[in-house]
Structure 1
Amino acid sequence: AGTSEKIQPQINAKADANRSGTVDKDESISTHLR
């Protein structure tokens, strides 16, 4: 349990970075289409 607790924040940080990256792409594409 201890190791997974240490690893989890890194996974969440990566997921957040990926999500924000894709959101930025989608926003730029949608604004371009508008």
Structure 2
Amino acid sequence: LIPLLRTQFFIVMGLVDAIPMIAVGLGLYVMFAVA
């Protein structure tokens, strides 16, 4: 039970940590695509 929770925790933390990078990447892509 504990390893499963730990794995899910790390996956969630990884996604939360990646959200800003994804947002920046999408922002740059849209900026260059529109421009």
TM-score tier by shorter-chain length is 0.5 to 0.7
TM-score (norm 1): 0.57
Provide the C-alpha distance between the structure 1 equivalents of 2:28 and 2:21, rounded to a whole number of angstroms. Answer: 11
Shift in Å, 1:12: 2.3
TM-score (norm 2): 0.55
Provide the C-alpha distance between the structure 2 equivalents of 1:2 and 1:28, rounded to a whole number of angstroms. Answer: 39
Alignment pair present for 1:13 and 2:16: yes
User: Structure 2 unaligned runs (5+)?
Assistant: none
**What is the number of residues matched between the two proteins?**
32
Identity across aligned pairs (percent)? 3
User: Structure 1 unaligned runs (5+)?
Assistant: none
RMSD: 1.5
